[in-house]
Amino acid sequence: MNWKRWTALGVVVGLLMISTITNLAVGFANFDFDEYVGTDFTETQLQEGAAGKLVVLNLDGVIQDTGSQGLFGGDIYDHQAFLTQLEMAGEDNTVDGIIIRVNTPGGGVLESDEIHEKIVAAQEEHEKPVYISMGNMAASGGYYIAAPADRIVASPSTITGSIGVIMESINFAELAENYGVSFNTIKSGPFKDIMSPYKEMTDDERDILQSMVDESYNEFVRVISEGRNMDEETVREIADGRIYSGNQAFENGLVDDLGNLDDTIGLLSEELGGGDYRVVTYDYMGGMYDFFGMTAQKLFGPDPELTMLQKLIFEHRAPTLKYLYTD
């Protein structure tokens, strides 16, 4: 490479560096540090009103804790952020009631239970009514978190139900054997590699896992029985894993009303005494740390969606209990 090409390359690199520095400077100049320091969420008004304030929280996506997504999460469900929002709404003395807009096939047993506990805390510790507005889908874990709500409203075409527990894994032991592939495993006990994809499951292993599934299922039944004021036998009759439309769920007592989000807002407003309530939602804004992290990650960091996908693939190999509808 002669000196002219080196000079041209140097000019290009220099221009790129100048452009990057300029973008950073503009970002810093336009950034209101006082507003965002220590702040994770900001309120966005959905409806004007003077009677009081209602908060609408959106639970959209598989209920699974894949780590905080921050500003780059896009439409990816952020479990920790949702828990924080729910806690904020409960502790805010200016909030009169909470509506959770649910659109999920469910997800992890642990994560669903964490949301359930936050809802109960908002009701019992902070004396806030919690209403559920079901979207296209509120199945399995989506119904688990809805069960303790003061009122559940579903669209006639909502897919809900799928009450039960599932644990699944991929097994390619036979495929590996057909191709002459073998695996060497050194383990401390007979069940250390339970549900391994490299070997056939034994009856004892199946019994162990089934007992865990049954335990979580019984907890699911208890939550519905208490939340919906239904006897356990009735719950078990409808909790066989099947899905229900919103109409069917209304007929069998799993939901209280049929309607949309606006209907749910109206019902909660009536319960609180009527009048026009100011309705807000929370948007993630992040603090100063997220702003600096945003710039650095955007320029040099890995794709957050790729990182999450890698985590999901790795974790799929481990046996995990799920309140999840899989079509």
Q: Dihedral of the CA atoms 314, 320, 323, 325 (nearest 10)?
A: 50
On whether the CB atoms of residues 107 and 63 are closer than 8 A, the answer is: yes
Residue 22 token pair: 């300029």
Q: Dihedral of the CA atoms 227, 231, 236, 238 (nearest 10)?
A: -70
Candidates 140, 162, 216, 225; catalytic one: 140
SS3 58: strand
User: CA 221 to CA 288: how far, in whole Å?
Assistant: 44
Q: Which residues sit opposite 56 in a β-bridge? A: 99, 281
Residue type, 77: Y
By C-alpha distance, which of 113, 110, 102, 86 is closest to 139?
102
Instruction: Give the position of tokens 């009856």.
Output: 203
Query: How many residues would you count in the chain?
Result: 327
Candidates 19, 157, 192, 311; catalytic one: 192
Neighbours of 309 (CB within 10 A): 12
Give the DSSP H or E segment for 130: strand 130-139
On whether the CB atoms of residues 221 and 236 are closer than 8 A, the answer is: yes
Q: How many CA atoms lie within 13 A of 208 on its CB side?
A: 12
Instruction: Give the position of tokens 């695996």.
Output: 183
Catalytic site includes residue 140: yes
Give the DSSP H or E segment for 151: strand 151-154
Burial environment of residue 100 by CB neighbours within 10 A (0 to 12, 13 to 18, 19 or more): buried
Instruction: Give the position of tokens 């309607």.
Output: 259
Catalytic site includes residue 112: no
So which residues are the catalytic ones?
140, 192
